[in-house]
């Protein structure tokens, strides 16, 4: 379960990082979408939040000063290569001379987010939103900060605000779906992932997470249909094929499920997986054959198959004794 939640958060962070170049180009334009106004109390809270952080910011040891446009270009290149430390140093040098560059403050906030420094990210993004409350990318990034910190209601508020301004943002529907899924609101997650796949029918992650939500609901028919669409986007994706095997097994379509599990990459694992479903279905002889095949493929490494084979043989013996 923990690995699943970690995977969800990684997908969410990947979405915001991949969108960064587009986000920067948007925020440098003069035109902006309609946005809520911040009340004086909101402004004061956000300003206090940033002021508290700004006094604690470490001052890095800076190399000899280059022109600001060159520093920014180096920062962008380092960020593209996920070299967060070098990127941060270059951006901070530019901000030293131009503290009003809130597009760069946004980038700094995203770097903190991607580096796992959630408090620093929150405070940097708070500064951006004091001065640029219309910047939807900053609201999305702040929502991700709250998501990673498991502050789900606050994350939901940020994503809802963004969608109120622009309901066509597939990425935001995806992130809201991730939040609902982690918070245990499966039906609401399904609703958001459905919207995301309609708005962006080539976004593989939305199809994968939608199928996982269906599997949690034991809606194997819809999970299968969703995974077939995902498979059309990425035929060899191991996770897609593994989930498809689970969905088909849930419908007792075992030969097709085995084919899907085999496409997931590990032949021994595939036979062990399908054997587990045969076992749960009370088909102990088929289960034993699958576990035996897994053992033949990996006799020393595959301890799980050994244990499963023993249980299947015991159950098979019990069933034959009862029949007798």
Tens of pLDDT, residue by residue over 64-102, are 678 998 999 999 999 999 999 999 999 999 999 999 999
pTM across the whole model: 0.77
Q: How far is it, in rounded angstroms, from Cα 135 to Cα 28? A: 10
Yes or no: say if 41 and 140 are a contact pair by the CB < 8 Å rule: no
Yes or no: say if 108 and 121 are a contact pair by the CB < 8 Å rule: no
Contacts of 142 (CB under 8 A, 6+ apart): 109, 122, 125, 126, 129, 158
CA 280 to chain centre: 31
**Where does the pLDDT of residue 14 fall: very low under 50, low under 70, confident under 90, or very high at 90 and above?**
low
Strand, helix or coil at 199?
A: helix
The secondary element (H helix, E strand) that includes residue 247 is helix 238-250
Q: How far is it, in rounded angstroms, from Cα 324 to Cα 322? A: 5
Q: Two tokens at 235?
A: 């035929």
Q: How many residues does the chain have?
A: 324
* Mean pLDDT, the chain, integer: 84
Q: How far is it, in rounded angstroms, from Cα 163 to Cα 168? A: 7
Q: What is the pLDDT of residues 152-184, one digit of tens each?
A: 999 999 999 999 999 999 999 999 999 999 999
Task: Please compute the mean of the pLDDT values over residues 121-139 and round it to a whole number.
Answer: 96
Contacts of 169 (CB under 8 A, 6+ apart): 136, 162, 163, 199
Q: What is the pLDDT of residues 110-125, one digit of tens each?
A: 999 999 999 999 999 9
């Amino acid at each position: 379960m923990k690995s699943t939640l970690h995977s969800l958060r990684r997908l969410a962070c990947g979405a915001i990082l991949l969108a960064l170049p587009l986000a920067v180009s948007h925020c440098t334009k003069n035109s902006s979408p309609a946005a809520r106004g911040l009340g004086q109390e909101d402004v004061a809270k956000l300003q206090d939040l940033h002021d508290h952080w700004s006094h604690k910011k470490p001052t890095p040891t800076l190399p000899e000063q280059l022109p600001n446009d060159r520093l920014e270009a180096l920062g962008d290149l380092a960020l593209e290569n996920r070299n967060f430390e070098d990127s941060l140093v270059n951006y901070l040098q530019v901000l030293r001379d131009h503290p009003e560059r809130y597009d760069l403050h946004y980038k700094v906030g995203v770097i903190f987010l991607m580096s796992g420094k959630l408090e620093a990210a929150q405070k940097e993004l708070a500064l951006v939103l004091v001065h640029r409350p219309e910047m939807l990318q900053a609201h999305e990034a702040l929502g991700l900060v709250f998501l990673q910190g498991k502050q789900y209601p606050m994350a939901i508020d940020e994503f809802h605000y963004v969608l109120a301004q622009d309901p066509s943002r597939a990425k935001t529907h995806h992130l809201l779906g991730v939040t609902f899924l982690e918070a245990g609101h499966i039906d609401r997650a399904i609703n958001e992932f459905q919207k995301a796949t309609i708005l962006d029918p080539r976004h593989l992650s939305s199809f994968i997470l939608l199928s996982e939500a269906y599997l949690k609901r034991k809606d194997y028919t819809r999970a299968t249909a969703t995974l077939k669409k995902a498979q059309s986007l990425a035929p060899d994706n191991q996770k897609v094929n593994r989930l498809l095997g689970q969905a088909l097994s849930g419908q007792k379509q075992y030969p097709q499920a085995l084919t899907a599990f085999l496409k997931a990459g590990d032949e021994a694992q595939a036979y062990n997986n399908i054997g587990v479903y045969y076992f749960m279905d009370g088909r102990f002889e088929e289960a034993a054959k699958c576990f035996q095949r897994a053992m033949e493929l990996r006799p020393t490494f595959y301890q799980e198959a050994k244990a499963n084979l023993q249980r299947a043989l015991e159950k098979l013996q019990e069933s034959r004794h009862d029949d007798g």
